[in-house]
Structures are given as structure tokens and as C-alpha cells.
């Protein structure tokens, strides 16, 4: 580019840059507003990367979004979506502070295309088969049994590392045009000052797709707004489980979400998902680390900052992939809480409803584990062959409910 510019033009532009830089540097300390820098790391015309590092030290409320493989004309290049970056950076808001419920904007068509690209590999490997339960108790393929309007509380089981979340959210958006607001561990919502990405990472997608930290206030506000809320009572203990604990529930004894659902007349939809054992083999978990010398001390130091419950210890497990199987989801019969004032006033009634939901999830898991044995397309090889013959977008058959 420098070879194509006339020397006089280049000198004139450099002079303008120096004048502008001199003025900006003399006033930079007075900037107290939040600043988002989009930085081209492969810029061959200007030292954008080093300048971003300098500005971040000077500006008190500065966040930097690095684009490793993009050049000088960043905003003109493919794959850079400024509106998405602003939304996932929590900078678009209506008040002084960002509100995760009231300031949230659903994903745009561009966001959905970007998500499709990133989730394409997961969807190909897992090929989720989804079932739902109608009012008369009939199990059908698809999501016809889900309520049409919120507030709805989807309550189910986590699989290893939460691998079921991406297919679940993608299918609900694609089939029902519903954004499911997931409730997740606060650790997944860091205040990052620097982000290195060619697009978005997991943390950005949680913000972009409406995730909120696990607090009672967030749950309260989501249900009050009539949203579809995704809740895993087993939390990270299920997502980071030990060997032999696949498809097992680790729910607390308290029935908080039942009372909160009844307060807003929300419909509770229990659901179950299986298939992690067809995706990976576990190598080690926190049980294995606890049994080695100094393992308890290491585990305690690592997991203290992750805890939401004092009775649980966690550490990320090691796993190796297998020839991919398939994920199976089933949503149970919706449980309305409208008119259930006894759940609000009677602890015993709330506990009974809570354990009804839990037992329903356990029954769904058992049902899916049994029925998946009938699926001829459980392995990835028959699925690939089916799509090669019928087309890549063809829905792959599964077991008959």
C-alpha cells in the first residue's frame, strides 16, 4: 500500500496524524467514559497493536478486542460484526449500568449465521434428536409439546462440560424462534479487559445468547419478564462429574426454583438429555486427583474460587474423544404452576413438587437410555451415509417414541 501512495500524499497524511495524535494525547487523561478498541493485529500501515496496548494503560475504562488475522481496513473485512461485539461487550444499555435482562437484545440474523458456523461441527457430531411430550402424555419427535408463551422454566440435567447446551439453544432458536436465557456459573461471566479472537469466544456467546449469572435476582427478573429460562439445578457438579456418574443428578435439597416459578405462574418443563458417554472417555476427574499425594491440597486451592456450594469440590476433567454417537433430548409434560399458591405458603407442597420434577427428569433419562438402543443412526457413520444420499440438511431419523 505504501508503494502505491504518492510521497506528497503520504507526508500530508503523516502530518495530519501527528497533529491529531498530539491533540488526543494531551486530553486523553480526561476521558472517563467506557472505551472499546477494535484492534487489527495484522495492520501493515499503522502500529495498531502497540497503540492499543498503550491506550489501554492510559484509559481507565478501556477494553481491547484483538483481531489476530485482520489488516488495516478492519471494518471492511469479512467476519467483523461491530454490533455483535458491542452487544457481547455489555456496552449497549439504556441506563448507567448494563442490565442483563432489560438491556438484552436477541441475536440478529448475522449473529445466528455466525453461531451456525461455530456450532456446525458440534451439530454434525452429535446430530441431536429431540422429543417432547404433549398434554395427553404422548411423546412426539420435535418440540411441539413445549409451551407457546412464557414464562417457562426448563429444568434438566447437565452432561459433561455442558456439551448439550449448544445443540439445545440452536434447535430451540431454529424450530421455535425462542431465545433460551441460560442461568450459568458466575465464573463464565468475567469482566475481560483484553480479548483475542477472530470472532467470538464462549464467554462472548454466553452474553450474546442471553446467558445470566446464577443469582436469585436474575432468575426473578427473567421470570417476571416472561422469558424461557434454562436451569440446571445440578450445576457444575453435574457438568464436571466423576467416572461412572454419567447421566446422574446432583441436585440440592432446597426447592427454591419451584417457589419462584409459582410466584410468576411459570410453566415448569422437566427435560433430560443423554449421549455424553458416546462422545468422550473420561481419563481423570477430581476423585482421581484427590487420591494422589498432595491432591487434596491442590484440589482445595483450585476449586475454592469456583464454589457455589460448600459441600462440592470441582476441577476440570481430562477426556479423550470417541467415534461420535448421538445426543437425545426429551422434554417432559409441562407442569403449570398457575393457581398453586400452596407451593408458596407450604414448604411440604413445594418440596413435593420439586421432587416430582426431579423424578420426572430421572425417568426421562432412563427412557432415553433405553430407547436409543433402537436407533439405527446412533453412530456417526450411518448418519453421514444417510446425509450423503439424502442431502446434508435432511433430518436424520431416530427411534420411534
Q: Which residue has the higher pLDDT, 177 or 273?
A: 273
- What pLDDT is attached to residue 202? 56
- Per the model's pLDDT, the better-predicted residue between 192 and 161 turns out to be 161
Give the chain's end-to-end CA distance (angstroms, integer).
63
- Taking only the tens place, the pLDDT of each residue in 105-146 is 888 888 888 777 777 888 888 999 999 999 999 999 999 999
Domain assignment present for 20: yes
| Same-domain pairing of 64 and 195 | no
pLDDT confidence of residue 248: 92
Q: Is residue 134 located within the same domain as residue 177? A: yes
Taking only Cα atoms into account, the Rg of the chain, rounded to an integer number of angstroms, comes to 25
Among the residue ranges 15-19, 140-144, 203-207, 388-392, the one predicted with the least confidence is: 203-207
- Point out the domain boundary residue: 88, 121, 150: 88
| 269 pLDDT higher than 90 | yes
3-state SS, the chain, equals: CCCCCCHHHHHHHHHHHHHHHHHHHHHHHHCCCCEEEEEECCCCCCCHHHHHHHHHHHCCCEEEEEECCCCCCHHHCCCCCHHHHHHHCCCCCCCCCCCCCCCCCCCCHHHHHHHHHHHHHHHHHHCCEEEEECCCCCEEECCCCCCCCCCEEEECCCCHHHCCHHHHHHHHHHHHCCCEEEEECHHHCCCCCEEECCCCCHHHHHHHCCCEECCHHHHHHHHHCCCEEEECCCHHHHHCCCCCCCCCCCCCCCCHHHHHHHHCCCEEEEEEEECHHHCEEEEECHHHHHCCCCHHHHHHHHHHHHCCCCCCCCCCCEEEECCCCCCEEEECCCEECCCCHHHHHCHHHHHHHHHHHHHHHHHHHHHHHHHHHHCCCCCHHHHHHHHHHHCCCCCCCCCCC
- Asked if residue 136 and residue 224 are part of one domain, the reply reads yes
CATH number at residue 346: 3.40.1130
- Among residues 53, 88, 123, the one where a domain terminates is 88
Q: Which residues pair with 319 in a beta bridge?
A: 282
**What pLDDT score was predicted for residue 141?**
96
Q: Is residue 317 part of a domain?
A: no
Q: Which of 12-26, 88-102, 370-384 has the lowest mean pLDDT?
A: 88-102
> For 323-330, what is the mean pLDDT?
94
Same domain, 118 and 172: yes
pLDDT at 157 over 80: yes
Q: What is the pLDDT of residue 114?
A: 77
- The whole-number pLDDT of residue 1 equals 57
Is 345 in the same domain as 274? yes
Q: Are residues 78 and 113 in the same domain?
A: no
In a domain, 96, yes or no: no
How far is residue 377 from each of residues 296, 330, 389, 391, measured CA to CA in Å? 43, 17, 14, 15
Strand bridging mode 194-196 / 62-67: parallel
Q: Are residues 79 and 113 in the same domain?
A: no
Asked whether residue 285 carries a pLDDT value surpassing 90, the answer given is no
- Once rounded to an integer, what is the mean pLDDT over residues 326-333? 97
- Asked whether residue 316 is domain-assigned, the answer is no
Q: Which of 34, 56, 88 finishes a domain?
A: 88
Q: Classify residue 240: in a domain, yes or no.
A: yes
Crossing angle for the helix pair 347-371 and 256-263, nearest 10 degrees?
Answer: 110
Task: Tell me if the pTM is above 0.95.
Answer: no
Question: Which of 68-77, 131-140, 165-174, 327-336 comes out lowest in average pLDDT?
Answer: 68-77
Supply the range of the domain harboring residue 69: 7-88
Per residue in 290-317, pLDDT tens? 666 665 665 565 555 555 554 555 667 7
Amino acid at each position: 500500500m505504501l508503494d502505491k501512495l504518492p510521497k506528497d500524499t503520504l507526508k500530508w497524511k503523516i502530518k495530519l496524524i501527528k497533529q491529531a495524535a498530539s491533540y488526543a494525547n494531551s486530553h486523553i487523561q480526561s476521558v472517563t467514559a467506557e472505551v472499546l478498541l477494535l484492534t487489527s493485529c495484522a495492520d501493515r500501515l499503522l502500529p495498531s497493536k502497540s497503540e492499543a496496548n498503550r491506550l489501554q494503560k492510559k484509559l481507565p475504562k478501556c477494553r481491547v478486542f484483538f483481531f489476530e488475522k485482520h489488516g488495516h481496513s478492519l471494518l471492511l473485512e469479512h467476519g467483523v460484526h461491530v454490533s455483535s461485539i458491542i452487544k457481547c461487550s455489555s456496552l449497549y444499555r439504556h441506563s448507567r449500568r448494563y442490565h442483563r435482562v432489560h438491556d438484552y437484545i436477541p441475536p440478529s440474523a448475522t449473529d445466528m449465521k455466525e453461531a451456525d458456523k461455530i456450532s456446525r461441527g458440534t451439530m454434525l457430531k452429535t446430530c441431536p434428536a429431540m422429543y417432547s411430550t404433549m398434554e395427553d402424555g404422548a411423546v412426539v419427535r420435535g418440540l411441539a409439546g413445549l409451551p407457546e408463551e412464557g414464562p417457562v422454566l426448563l429444568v434438566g440435567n447437565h452432561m459433561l462440560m455442558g456439551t448439550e447446551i449448544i445443540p439445545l439453544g440452536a434447535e430451540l432458536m431454529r424450530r421455535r424462534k425462542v431465545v433460551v436465557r441460560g442461568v450459568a456459573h458466575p465464573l463464565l461471566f468475567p469482566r475481560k479487559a483484553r480479548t483475542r479472537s477472530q470472532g467470538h469466544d464462549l464467554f462472548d456467546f454466553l452474553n450474546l445468547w442471553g446467558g445470566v449469572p446464577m443469582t436469585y435476582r436474575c432468575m426473578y427478573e427473567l421470570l417476571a419478564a416472561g422469558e424461557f429460562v434454562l436451569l440446571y439445578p445440578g450445576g457444575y457438579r453435574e457438568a464436571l462429574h466423576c467416572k461412572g456418574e454419567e447421566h446422574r443428578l446432583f441436585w440440592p435439597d432446597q426447592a427454591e426454583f419451584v417457589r419462584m416459578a409459582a410466584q410468576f405462574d411459570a410453566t415448569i418443563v422437566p427435560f433430560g438429555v443423554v449421549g455424553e458417554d458416546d462422545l468422550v472417555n473420561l481419563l481423570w476427574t477430581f476423585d482421581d486427583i484427590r487420591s494422589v499425594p498432595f491432591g487434596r491440597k491442590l484440589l482445595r486451592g483450585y476449586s475454592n474460587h469456583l464454589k457455589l456450594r460448600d459441600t462440592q469440590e470441582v476441577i476440570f476433567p481430562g477426556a479423550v474423544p470417541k467415534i461420535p454417537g448421538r445426543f437425545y433430548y426429551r422434554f417432559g409434560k409441562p407442569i403449570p404452576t398457575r393457581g398453586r399458591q400452596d407451593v408458596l405458603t407450604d414448604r411440604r407442597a413445594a418440596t413435593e413438587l420439586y421432587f416430582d420434577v426431579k423424578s420426572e427428569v430421572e425417568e426421562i433419562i432412563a427412557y432415553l437410555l433405553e430407547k436409543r438402543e433402537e436407533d439405527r443412526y446412533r453412530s456417526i457413520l450411518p448418519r453421514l451415509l444417510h446425509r450423503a444420499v439424502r442431502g446434508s440438511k435432511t433430518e436424520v431419523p431416530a427411534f420411534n417414541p
